[in-house]
């Protein structure tokens, strides 16, 4: 019998004869109500590291024969105080009350995404919860590594920009004022480039002007944020991401890798293809890929194969023809999940190559940009230095 069907676990008690025994399970509600941050557990998110540790521990315990509710209790005791610790306890109590594992997880949709819940539901039918959790743990680890690689590629230009801002600020606020005092004392005229730099420096030091500029920037950023949540905003921003030089290939490879990895993981654990595509669509987080999988879903429901459905989609260009051919071969051989897994591995390697190419190209570009900015400021400062002797002599 699967551990997922286990209900309330009876434990010995040491109560007195006249002491009333409360009906039902006894969740630790007191801890939950001690913090306002834990008031709405169904709105709390779980980090990837928390989910990876949770699936690893639960998989090992279930494989060792521990009952699901007892395993969850043990994991919650080992978890440091956090909203996720309380979520684990609540899930355990729901299972003791007779709910299934998947139904218990549905109460916390922000902690457990649709893919997680769908795979748990499939394992309840097959009775292979431990195996499913191992597969799910592999996927979560893969996603964490992919996300880390992409962030590392984007971190380098961000650091270079901060360095450029720091160098520019040092020249503007510490070096430039020294030259200004000399020229003001001698009544000398500054070169035009230096004068432009001085005026810009004065603007940065003007409290009222900077307050107005910052207010406009904050309002514009707020407007951009809400606009990016609209359909038009998502179409434009996601389109720019996919078409951007250098980074466009990296974003596209990330989404293809994620799509194939999700489908492989879910199909191999017994989830039907339509549910796998629906979860893939929800987790892609890109307008064009979501439209691709939505139309693919419609075509499959109309009787088409997966490969043909992708071809009939207006956004089929997002999936390389070679991938479609591999999917068609997997459909014919009945090993679609295995083929999706191979494609995800192939594109994971392609993604690593894209990240390396992006990093290699970003470095000289950022050096050139920093050189132009700092070089312009340096020239603006050195131009009056070339005439400093004549100014002092005069």
SS3 sequence, 297-345? HHHHHCCCCHHHHHHHCCCHHHCCHHHHHHHHHHHHHCCHHHHHHHHHH
- Identify whether residues 162 and 275 lie together within a single domain: yes
Cβ proximity of 94 and 104 under 8 Å:
yes
134 within domain boundaries:
yes
Asked if residue 82 belongs to a domain, the reply is yes
Asked if the structure places residue 30 within a domain, the reply is no
CA distance 279 to 290: 10
pLDDT confidence bin for 183, thresholds 50/70/90:
low
107 and 148: one domain? no
Do 346 and 385 fall into the same domain?
Answer: yes
Is 342 within the bounds of a domain?
yes
Read off the pLDDT of residues 3-42 as tens digits, 9 standing for 90 and up: 333 333 333 333 333 444 344 444 444 444 344 444 576 7
Q: Are 280 and 263 in contact (CB under 8 A)?
A: yes
Q: How far apart are CA 212 and CA 7, in angstroms?
A: 62
In a domain, 311, yes or no: yes
Same domain as 132, residue 61: no
CATH of the domain at 290: 1.20.81.30
Mean pLDDT score, 297-311: 93
Q: Which among 112, 138, 170 is the end of a domain?
A: 112
Mark whether 63 and 163 lie in a shared domain.
Answer: no
Looking at the structure, do residues 315 and 369 belong to the same domain, yes or no? yes
**Residue 357: its pLDDT value, please?**
81
Q: What is the mean pLDDT of the chain?
A: 80
| In a domain? residue 31 | no
For the stretch 62-74, pLDDT in tens is 888 888 889 999 9
pTM higher than 0.85, yes or no? no
342 close to 326: Cβ distance less than 8 angstroms: yes
- 59 lies in the same domain as 144: no
In angstroms, how far apart are the furthest CA atoms of the chain?
Answer: 106
Boundary (domain end) residue, out of 86, 112, 138: 112
Co-location of 321 and 294 in the same domain: yes
**In terms of residue numbers, what domain contains 285?**
128-394
152 and 197 co-located in one domain: yes
Stretch 230-236: mean pLDDT = 92
- Mean pLDDT confidence for 179-183: 69
Q: How many structural domains comprise the chain?
A: 2
pLDDT on residue 387 = 64
190 and 104 in a common domain: no
In this prediction, residue 391 has a pLDDT band, given cuts at 50, 70 and 90, of low
Residues 182-191: what's their mean pLDDT?
A: 66
The whole-number pLDDT of residue 184 equals 67
pLDDT of 101 > 60? The answer is yes
**For residues 270-291, average pLDDT:** 87
Residue where a domain terminates, one of 112, 139, 154: 112
Does position 368 have pLDDT exceeding 90, yes or no? no
Over the stretch 324-349, which tens digit does the pLDDT of each residue have?
999 999 999 989 989 998 998 898 88
Band the pLDDT of 185: cuts 50, 70, 90. Answer: low
Quick one: 64 and 159 in the same domain? no
Are both 180 and 264 inside the same structural domain? Answer: yes
In a domain, 8, yes or no: no
Instruction: Please tell me the least confidently modeled range out of 23-37, 81-95, 269-283, 352-366.
Output: 23-37
The answer to whether position 230 is within a domain reads: yes
Percent of the chain with pLDDT over 70: 84
């Amino acid at each position: 019998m699967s551990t997922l069907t286990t209900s309330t676990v009876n434990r010995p008690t040491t109560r007195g004869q006249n002491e009333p025994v409360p009906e039902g399970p006894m969740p630790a509600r007191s801890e939950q109500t001690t913090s306002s941050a834990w008031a709405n557990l169904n709105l709390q998110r779980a980090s990837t590291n928390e989910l990876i540790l949770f699936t690893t521990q639960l998989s090992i315990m279930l494989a060792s024969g521990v009952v699901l509710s007892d395993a969850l209790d043990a994991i919650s005791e080992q978890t440091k105080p956090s909203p996720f610790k309380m979520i684990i306890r609540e899930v355990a109590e729901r299972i003791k009350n007779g709910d299934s594992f998947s139904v218990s997880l549905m109460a916390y949709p922000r902690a457990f995404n649709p893919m997680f819940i769908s795979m748990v539901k499939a394992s309840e039918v097959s009775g292979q919860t431990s195996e499913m959790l191992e597969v799910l743990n592999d996927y979560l680890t893969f996603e964490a590594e992919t996300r880390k690689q992409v962030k590392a590629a984007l971190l380098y230009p961000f650091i270079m920009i901060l360095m450029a801002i720091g160098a520019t600020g040092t020249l503007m606020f510490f070096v430039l004022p020294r030259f200004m005092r000399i020229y003001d004392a001698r009544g000398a005229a500054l070169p035009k480039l230096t004068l432009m730099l001085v005026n810009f420096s004065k603007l940065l030091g003007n409290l009222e002007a900077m307050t107005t500029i910052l207010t406009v920037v904050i309002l514009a950023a707020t407007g951009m944020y809400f606009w990016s949540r609209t359909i038009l905003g998502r179409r434009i921003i996601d389109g720019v991401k996919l078409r951007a030089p250098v980074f466009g290939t990296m974003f596209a490879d990330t989404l293809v890798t994620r799509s194939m990895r999700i489908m492989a993981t879910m199909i191999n654990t017994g989830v039907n293809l339509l549910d796998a595509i629906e979860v893939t669509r929800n987790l892609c987080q890109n307008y064009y890929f979501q439209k691709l999988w939505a139309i693919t879903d419609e075509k499959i429901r109309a009787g088409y194969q997966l490969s043909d459905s992708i071809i009939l989609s207006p956004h089929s260009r997002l999936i390389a023809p070679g991938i479609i051919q591999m999917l068609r071969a997997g459909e014919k051989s009945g090993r679609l999940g295995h083929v999706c897994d191979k494609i995800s591995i192939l594109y994971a390697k392609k993604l690593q190559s894209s990240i390396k190419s992006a990093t290699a190209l970003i470095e000289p570009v950022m050096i050139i940009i920093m050189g132009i900015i700092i070089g312009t400021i340096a020239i603006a400062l050195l131009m009056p230095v070339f005439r400093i002797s004549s100014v002092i002599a005069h």
